[in-house]
Structure 1
Amino acid sequence: MNGWTFELKPKVEKDVDASPIHLDTFKGKAIDEVRAIPLSIGKEICSIGDLFLVKKSNQNNTIRLEGDLSHFHHIASAQQRGQTIVCGDVGDYLAAPTGARRAGMSGGRLIVSGSAGDAVGHRMRRGEIAINGSVGNLLAAHMVAGTIIVAGEVGRNCGYAMRRGTLCLSKLPDLCPKRFGKPTQFQTAFFSLMQKQWQEELQTLGSVGVDLSEITRLLDQIRETHFASVRGDFAVGGQGEMIVLRY
């Protein structure tokens, strides 16, 4: 399957439901059919082609979104495979479910070179997310499994009702002591393996103009220094883990 590149035309000031933008929606479609896929923008309906310059790319199973997407919500909400790369900021509910769906992202990899809004990874089931900037409130709320790396700041209620999964953060967020354990300092070879796993991918993305310098720095620091692990959310019997560099 070919990859796709979407370059934002004008800056969008209204909220956009970007949930239709994923590989399974585009499967078997010609480029004109992809351009015609409808998106909700405010109370109106437009097409992908109205908002983006759409091109095919040679990056198989990859969607690349370019521009200020801070008003685009629910990106990668139904992602099950492949890779989504965002060169810029994104809105709320990144990789989170829409409507009555009980699960958000369930596979693949999601890369953001900028920052993201609230409820990143809500009800995430599987997959990997790496965010080079900061995120808003409710990161990984009700998360079931998967890995999320955030190099920047994290908002309130991080990991709320988190059951499993791993968060890798630059510093310990404010947590309720009744819901999460105390930070436990340790070293392990696991993060040397994790850093090595990501190193090649980060170099590849850097070669095509995706700035992930803060993610690279965070993974290098965790590999080379002590870090702490925090478990929770105990209020829901959760055994999720937060790996933090500073605490």
Structure 2
Amino acid sequence: MDDNDAHIVVKNLSIAYDDFLIQKDLNFCVKHGDIFIIMGGSGCGKSTLLKCMIGLKSPAQGDVLYDGLAFWASDENAQKQVKQQFGTLFQSGALWSSMTLVENIGLALKQYTNLNESQVRDVAAYKLMLVGLAGFEDYYPGELSGGMKKRAGLARAMALDPQILFFDEPSAGLDPISARLLDELILELRDSLGTTVVVVTHELASIFAIGNNSVFLDSVTRTQLATGHPVELRDHCPDRIVRNFLTRGKAYE
């Protein structure tokens, strides 16, 4: 695919903590409307790559392009405008425990829009309805199950109608049924809103249920071993490590 046609392009990217190299020479494209999976074994740098993509950690070299704009080569104002296109769901949900769900979702709306209090509540309630939490507007995070907290975190990530949603291990800590329901919700939102989705996960069920594009990071070589549709990589990737990971073969037992 031509880089000019991509929503996101990771180009010649290397990430490190001081002198410790995490990943090097990463090159892949995310198309508009993709559900793109960042996958690999534990400790390979999946979440660190996500932090680099959303502007929380600068790369050692290379850049991330959004619709052709080089994020890390841009000034602070340009970066801020790009980041307003993002919605992020962290592993814990990252909800404020002292605020109700509608207050949590309303934070960004109050900061970045001119909506009044009534309008903020209406929009926040609508976002909760989209994720199946209508009627829970005035509940606190501590009153919710793990799956409901994830959905509430997703509602907050969607508050400003982002063009791109980033998920860091969305199924972590969920039982299989809750994880499947969250996967179905991600698909529904992508299809209804046309949002591009980037997901960090090692869960095979989620990888195959929602992913249509992916990159595989390796902790030994500290670079990507493959990129493409997860099913194609499982069935036809020439790299044995990738195939073993996607079939849970001996390399990852």
Q: Quick check: TM above 0.5? A: no
- Higher strand proportion (structure 1 or 2): 1
- Higher helix proportion (structure 1 or 2): 2
TM (norm. structure 1) is 0.32
Higher relative contact order, structure no. (Cα contacts within 8 Å, ≥ 6 residues apart): 2
